[in-house]
C-alpha cells in the first residue's frame, strides 16, 4: 500500500481514530476496570466505579481530541527527556532547529542502554519529570552480545548475565513503582525465533527471563517484548507464543509485544500482524496479547526493496497516541527517535547518532510536511 493510500485510509477512519465515540469511551472505562487496556491499574480507574463525572471527563477529552488532535493524541504519554542527539544537531545545524523542536515536543521513547554511561540518569529524568498519571516509554537495550547477527549495536558494557542483572536492577530501582511502558530488547526474540545460533549461544532467553522477572516487580509497568516484524507470520507465530510463555509462565507480567521498532512498515500492516499473532497466541498458548506499534518512521511505508538500514524516501509517522482506535493496539509510539542513524550504512553514521540527510528525508516525506503542510527543510543551510 502506498503512503498516499495509507493516509487516505486514515482520513476515512478519522472519526473513529481520533474522535472517539461514546461506545468506545465506555469500552475504555470497562477495560480499565477489568485491569486491561492502556489505562489499566491507574488509581483513577482501579479504585472507583465509573461515574457520571468520569464519563463527562472522558467525553471532554474526546471532544478536545476532535478539535485539537495533535495536541491531545498523546495524552497519557510522557517524554521528559529529549533525545541528546537532537541537542547536538540543533547546535551543529541551526537551520533545522524549528523542525527538530517540532519533533521533540512529541513523547519519544527514552533508551536505557549499556552503550550510554548516562542511561541511568536519563531513566531517572524520564520518570521523575513526568506528570502524575502519565507514563514514559523506556526501551531496555542492554542484552549482552545484543544484535549478534548484524553487529551494528554489539558494543556495550554488559558482557555477562550477572552484569545484565545489575543493569536491570539499577533500572528497576530508579523507576520504582511509577507508571512506565517498557519495550524490552529490540530484535532479541526475532533472532531467537529466526534461527540465529548466536542468540542461543549468548543465552538471550535466560537474560530475557531475568528482564521480565525484575522489571515485572513494578505493578504499574506495562511490559512489551519486542518482536522483529520479519519473523511474525504463520510460520513462526506459534513458536513466538511459546517463547512468551517461557519468559512469563504465569501470563501476568508481559502485557504483549512491540512491533516495527526502528522499522517502517505501514500501520495497517502492523495492525493485521498484531491481530493474527494475538489469535495464534490465544489458540496455542492461551495467552491474551495486545501490541504497541512503533510508528515513528512509517508515514511513507517501507522501502520497496525492503532496505531497513537508513533507507531513503521514508517519512516521520503520525504522533504517538493511546487512542489507536484498534482493539488490540494499546499504544502507537515513537520508539526510534526520527533522525537517529540505523548504523553505518547508506551514508549514515554510527547507530544512534544524528544523521543529517536521514532526518531531512524523514521530515520532508513525513507527517508534518505531507499532512500538516509545514515547510520542507534542506541539508544545506540557506
Average pLDDT of span 352-371: 98
Dihedral sign of CA atoms 30, 32, 34, 38 in order: positive
As a whole number of angstroms, the distance between CA 341 and CA 41 comes to 36
Considering the domain boundaries, does residue 56 fall inside one?
Answer: no
Residue 324 resides in a domain? yes
- Whether the per-residue pLDDT at 34 is higher than 80: the answer is no
CATH number assigned to the domain comprising residue 296: 3.20.20.40
Contact 268, 9 (CB under 8 A): yes
Take residue 42 and report the three cell numbers written for it: 491507574
318-349: per-residue pLDDT in tens? 999 999 999 999 999 999 999 999 999 999 99
Assess if residue 19 is contained within a domain: no
Give residue 303's domain range.
73-370
The number of CA neighbours under 13 Å toward the Cβ of 229 is 23
The pLDDT assigned to 48 comes to: 45
Higher pLDDT, 160 or 47: 160
pLDDT score of 102: 97
Q: What is the pLDDT of residues 96-147, one digit of tens each?
A: 999 999 999 999 999 999 888 888 888 999 898 898 889 999 999 999 878 7
Long-range contacts of 96-100 (CB under 8 A, 24+ apart): 96/359, 96/360, 96/377, 99/359, 99/363, 99/368, 99/374, 99/377, 100/339, 100/359
Higher pLDDT, 134 or 56: 134
Mean pLDDT for the chain?
84
Taking the C-alpha atoms of residue 173 and residue 1, their distance in angstroms, rounded to an integer, is 44
Does residue 132 belong to any structural domain of this protein?
Answer: yes
Name the most confidently modeled range: 149-153, 197-201, 248-252, 265-269: 265-269
Please check whether residue 352 lies inside any domain of the structure: yes
- In this predicted structure, the answer to whether residue 179 has a pLDDT above a threshold of 90 is yes
> Per the domain annotation, does 377 fall within a domain?
no
Around Cβ 34, how many Cβ atoms within 10 Å?
10
The pLDDT assigned to 83 comes to 93
Average pLDDT on 153-181 reads: 91
Which of these, 269, 262, 225, lies nearest to 245 by C-alpha position?
225
Residue 376 lies in a domain: no
Residue 67 belongs to a domain: no
pLDDT top residue among 181 and 128: 181
The count of other CB atoms within 10 Å of the CB of residue 64 is 13
The gap between the terminal CA atoms of the chain, to the nearest Å, is 35
Residue-wise pLDDT tens digits, 218-276 = 999 999 999 988 899 999 999 999 999 999 999 899 999 999 999 999 999 999 999 99
Q: What is the dihedral of CA 231, 233, 237, 239, to 10 degrees?
A: -50
For the annotated catalytic residues, the residue numbers are 147, 187, 342
- Number of independent structural domains in the chain: 1
Q: What is the pLDDT of residue 76?
A: 87
Identify the pLDDT of residue 17.
Answer: 40
Q: What is the percentage of the chain residues whose pLDDT exceeds 70?
A: 79
Amino acid at each position: 500500500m502506498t503512503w498516499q493510500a495509507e493516509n487516505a485510509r486514515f482520513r476515512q477512519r478519522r472519526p473513529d481514530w481520533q474522535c472517539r465515540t461514546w461506545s468506545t469511551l465506555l469500552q475504555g472505562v470497562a477495560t480499565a476496570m477489568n485491569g486491561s487496556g492502556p489505562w489499566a491499574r491507574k488509581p483513577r480507574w482501579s479504585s472507583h466505579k465509573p461515574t457520571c463525572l468520569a464519563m463527562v471527563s472522558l467525553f471532554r477529552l474526546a471532544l478536545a481530541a476532535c478539535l485539537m488532535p495533535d495536541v491531545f493524541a498523546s495524552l497519557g504519554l510522557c517524554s521528559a527527556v529529549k533525545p541528546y542527539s537532537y541537542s547536538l544537531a540543533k547546535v551543529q545545524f541551526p537551520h533545522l532547529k524549528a523542525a527538530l523542536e517540532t519533533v521533540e515536543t512529541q513523547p519519544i521513547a527514552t533508551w536505557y542502554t549499556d552503550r550510554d554511561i548516562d542511561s541511568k540518569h536519563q531513566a531517572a529524568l524520564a520518570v521523575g519529570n513526568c506528570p502524575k498519571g502519565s507514563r514514559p516509554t523506556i526501551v531496555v537495550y542492554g542484552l549482552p552480545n545484543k544484535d549478534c547477527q548484524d553487529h551494528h549495536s554489539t558494543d556495550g558494557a554488559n558482557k555477562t548475565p550477572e552484569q545484565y542483572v545489575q543493569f536491570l536492577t539499577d533500572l528497576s530501582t530508579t523507576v520504582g513503582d511509577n507508571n512506565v511502558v517498557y519495550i524490552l530488547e529490540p530484535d532479541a526474540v526475532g533472532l531467537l525465533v529466526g534461527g540465529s545460533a548466536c542468540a542461543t549461544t549468548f543465552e538471550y532467553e535466560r537474560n530475557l527471563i531475568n528482564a521480565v522477572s525484575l522489571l515485572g516487580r513494578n505493578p504499574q509497568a506495562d511490559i512489551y517484548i519486542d518482536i522483529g516484524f520479519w519473523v511474525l507470520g504463520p510460520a513462526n507465530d506459534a513458536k513466538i507464543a511459546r517463547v512468551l510463555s517461557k519468559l512469563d509462565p504465569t501470563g501476568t507480567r508481559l502485557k504483549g509485544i512491540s512491533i516495527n521498532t526502528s522499522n517502517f512498515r505501514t500501520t495497517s500492516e502492523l495492525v493485521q500482524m498484531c491481530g493474527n499473532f494475538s489469535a495464534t497466541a490465544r489458540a496455542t498458548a492461551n495467552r491474551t496479547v495486545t501490541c504497541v506499534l512503533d510508528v515513528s518512521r512509517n508515514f511513507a511505508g517501507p522501502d520497496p526493496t525492503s532496505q531497513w538500514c537508513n533507507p531513503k524516501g521514508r517519512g516521520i509517522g503520525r504522533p504517538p497516541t493511546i487512542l489507536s482506535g484498534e482493539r488490540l493496539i494499546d499504544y502507537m509510539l515513537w520508539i526510534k527517535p526520527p533522525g537517529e542513524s540505523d548504523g553505518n550504512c547508506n551514508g549514515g553514521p554510527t547507530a544512534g547518532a544524528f544523521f543529517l540527510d536521514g532526518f531531512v528525508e524523514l521530515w520532508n516525506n513525513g507527517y508534518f510536511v505531507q499532512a500538516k503542510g509545514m515547510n520542507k527543510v534542506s541539508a544545506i543551510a540557506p
